Amino acid sequence: MHRKAIRTLISMTVLSGMLVACSGGASKPSVDNLQSPAVSGQLAEEGSAKVTVQFWHSLGGKTGEYLNHMIKRFNESHNNIEVAGTYQGSYGETASKLQQSIATGQLPDIIMLERSNIQMFEEWSTLEDLTPYMQKSNMTIGDFTPGLMGHSTFNNKLVSLPFNRSTPILHINKTMLNEKGLAVPKTWDELKQTANALVINENGEYNRYGLTMPFDSWYPLAMMGQARGKFFNDQGTALGFDGEGVKTFGFLKELQRTGALYYPPEKDSGTVANQLFTSGKAGMLFQSSASVSGFTSSVKFEYATAFLPMDQTYTAPTGGANIAIMAGSKHKEAAWEFIRWAATDPKGGLQFILDTGYLPFTPKMAESGQIKEIWAKNPNLKTAYDQLKYASDTNKHVAWPAVLKELNATIRAIMYNDKEIEPALHAFKKEAEMLLSK
């Protein structure tokens, strides 16, 4: 692929807003030991002045408050570093602002990137290789949750690490299933039977659906993987699925025709799907693991979670964001200290995970007494972490943002406009592989 052509393509995609939106007991080196001579000299010249690390992120609302609390804890424990966290908007808005900042040179030190956007910025050589910093800190990639590392290494460089991550799972109104004597579905066939059994159709009007899900590429991607397809082939030169795509959309359309699936309008589809589920108008929901805590506190029925049902195999993509250091940062060592602290100090990422319900991004977090206690009280929170052993992200490609635009158009054509599946996917394949060839 020609880098100039693909950079132009991706820049246009970013600017048009098409980017989309899942125990610290060991002794670690202090930031003073990690600092390069240039940084150490700078601190000496500044005397008591702090190095200020700019951290751009995409977490607003209550989640943003929890991140701010974490940043405050870091700042209180480090005399010579001040991290300044700044909300930049959605993942797409953050990526767009970063793209513009690269042109002006006004860069942050640390950036939060939605995981599928990382490769694009690595392609521009704008992300720092974290390998030397890991080595200085006696850390390895084995210190991070394997199922969340799919968007960390590109071109043999470790350019990002997981932070606020999630994965899609099956959310279930167990009360509704129990009333029908139904078990939680584990396969596509069981899902079809259960979803159809939950449908209430009175005088031609559906008063209850079996299953719902937001408009999002996440779920078809998961299902194509469950049928043993890959989105891109291993060489990144073509799509890696054919019949698996036909099978996925054929299954969804069959459910849709019988009322077993309600596929909401694209606008606010996540909110609509969630409301159908929480109000008892749909018995099951494909949705992010980040929704578990909210559902636990809000629903009036027995609530359960499970792996996404399998076809030929279990598999699920991941979501959410990683954090990275900008190659142009003037405070790389201080930025790394914040990332290292977040990964290893119980007051860092662990407390953030406990507060927000995101997935533990290190095995030590998952093995901590605090996480084990929460999982024991609410096993629904553990489902997504257990499913990570089947995590697979096969849509990694620098052209993904542009291909995603075409994929979403194809989903609309099939799910809303009843276009024939095979011709629609054939047209998509042609467009996608043209993008890959540039």
Contact 408, 208 (CB under 8 A): no
Contact 116, 395 (CB under 8 A): yes
Cα–Cα distance for residue pair 74/44, rounded to 1 Å = 21
Residue 350 DSSP one-character state: I
404-422 mean pLDDT: 97
- Residue 132's CB is within 10 A of a number of other CB atoms, namely 13
Residue 232 DSSP one-character state: B
Query: Using alpha carbons only, how large is the chain's radius of gyration in Å?
Result: 23
In this predicted structure, what is the pLDDT of residue 48? Answer: 54
| Residue 23 scores a pLDDT above 90 | no
| Residue 366 scores a pLDDT above 50 | yes
Note the pLDDT tens digit of each residue in 325-357: 999 999 999 999 999 999 999 999 999 999 999
Nearest CA-CA partner of 399 in 20, 7, 115: 7
State both tokens at 335: 């930025």
Note the pLDDT tens digit of each residue in 234-271: 999 999 999 999 999 999 999 999 999 999 999 999 99
Residue 141 DSSP one-character state: G
Residue 227 DSSP one-character state: T
Q: DSSP characters for 308-361?
A: PPBSSS--B--EEEEEEEBTT-S-HHHHHHHHHHHHH-IIIIIHHHHHH-PPPS
Burial class (CB in 10 A: 0-12, 13-18, 19+), 431: middle
- pLDDT bucket at 51, cuts 50 / 70 / 90: very high
- Tell me the fold of 168-316+394-437: D-Maltodextrin-Binding Protein; domain 2 (3.40.190)
Alpha-carbon dihedral sign for residues 86, 91, 96, 99? positive
State both tokens at 166: 């999630």
State both tokens at 21: 């939106």
Ranges for all domains in the chain classified under CATH 3.40.190.10: 3-166+319-367, 168-316+394-437
Cα–Cα distance for residue pair 301/175, rounded to 1 Å = 6
- Please state, rounded to an integer, the average pLDDT across all residues of the chain: 90
In this predicted structure, what is the pLDDT of residue 438? Answer: 81
384-394 mean pLDDT: 96
Does the predicted model carry a pTM greater than 0.85?
A: yes
| Residue 40 scores a pLDDT above 60 | no
191-208 mean pLDDT: 96
> Coil, strand or helix: which one is 161?
strand
Q: What kind of architecture, by CATH, is found in domain 3-166+319-367?
A: 3-Layer(aba) Sandwich (3.40)
Cα–Cα distance for residue pair 34/337, rounded to 1 Å = 8
Q: DSSP characters for 199-216?
A: -EEETTEEEEEEEE--S-
How far CA 376 is from CA of 216, 256, 370, 371, 382, in Å, comes to 31, 36, 10, 9, 9
In this predicted structure, what is the pLDDT of residue 49? Answer: 79
| Residue 190 scores a pLDDT above 90 | yes
Contact 223, 272 (CB under 8 A): no
Q: State the residue for tokens 């969804």.
A: 252
State both tokens at 170: 């099956």
| Residue 130 scores a pLDDT above 80 | yes
